[in-house]
Structure 1
């Protein structure tokens, strides 16, 4: 169903999953995605990708970064997303095979909807909210920490070949 191989899945997830979890947590906590985390995500692709992908495909994936960066910068400029969200999307783009873009859009749509629903439900439950009372995302009104669902979507996409093995 996806164009990620099992080898790529394992190699990328070892490094990407902890970064995505950190991004999600920090965006929920502080409504910020630190630049070092998006830089680290890009570096994972640069370093690991060259070992697990055919070189022509690996080189072509850099164009994904630039295309998504331009689109994300426009979305940031019109206020549709934060700068950290834009940097995360651009850094995550090379991990996605061009043939899987439609699937990623479906995952992103479902992930953002589920993330928003989970966040709003958790926010309404005092016992949950009291576990992390200082999270900035609790009091942001309509603003929502997109790093939470975007990190989850990248993990799910990269883990998909492993899920099919089960």
Structure 2
């Protein structure tokens, strides 16, 4: 894994409660709250500034044709937010994803290192499949009585993606803590 183990270990205790909150509120009300997305972004901005200080890390270059951009890892990770938010807005406009999902993915993208994209894609695919099956099974069993007034039970084909997205970020950071670079 490309994520530094120390960075993952520092991010994890702050990010984990936000991931649980996002999953819970999306299951309960089919909304990912803006304050959760802002809190996730703030965790990266504040904690990341100390864990990946721009003045103490080796800068990385990226080039497209004649244009070469060299930035410290902290700023590269912040740039992920902008790129993923732009893509999320496009997907939201096309009706392919909710606005809360797009905002959460943008905030979460700051924590994901580019070299770990394939791993994160696998984690996310497994989390989506597992969350979907779990949610649908619980919806049609007695487990539904634990939280009978959750809006996600009665939304037809719509599914609370904050549940698997939060789980994916949490799993990625846990794995990063254990086997990061």
Other-structure match for 1:159: 174
SS of residue matched to 2:104: helix
Q: Distance in 2 between matches of 1:112 and 1:21?
A: 15
Does 2:118 align with 1:102? yes
Q: Distance in 2 between matches of 1:57 and 1:161?
A: 16
Query: 4+ residue stretches of structure 1 with deviation over 2 A?
Result: 161-165
Q: For the aligned residues, what is the CA RMSD?
A: 1.3
Other-structure match for 2:33: 34
Structure 2 unaligned spans of 5+ = 55-71
Q: Structure 1-normalised TM-score?
A: 0.94
Other-structure match for 2:68: none
Q: Structure 2-normalised TM-score?
A: 0.86
Which stretch shifts more, 67-76 or 16-25?
67-76
Question: Deviations for 1:112-149, whole angstroms, at most 9, x for unmatched residues?
Answer: 111101100111112x1001000000011110000000
Comparing both structures, which one devotes a greater share of its residues to helix?
A: 1
Other-structure match for 2:161: 146
Other-structure match for 2:136: 120
Structure 1 segment 1-166 matched on structure 2, within 5 A? 2-55=1-54, 56-126=72-142, 128-164=143-179
Larger Rg: 2
Q: Distance in 2 between matches of 1:162 and 1:71?
A: 28
Q: Distance in 2 between matches of 1:54 and 1:107?
A: 28
Q: Tell me the number of residue pairs that the alignment of Structure 1 and Structure 2 aligns.
A: 163
Q: Distance in 1 between matches of 2:38 and 2:177?
A: 26
CA contact (8 A) 2:3 2:116 kept: no
Question: Deviations for 1:48-68, whole angstroms, at most 9, x for unmatched residues?
Answer: 011112521001111111110
Displacement of 1:161 in angstroms is: 3.1
Displacement of 1:3 in angstroms is: 1.6
Q: Distance in 2 between matches of 1:67 and 1:141?
A: 31
Q: Distance in 2 between matches of 1:101 and 1:54?
A: 23
Structure 1 unaligned spans of 5+ = none
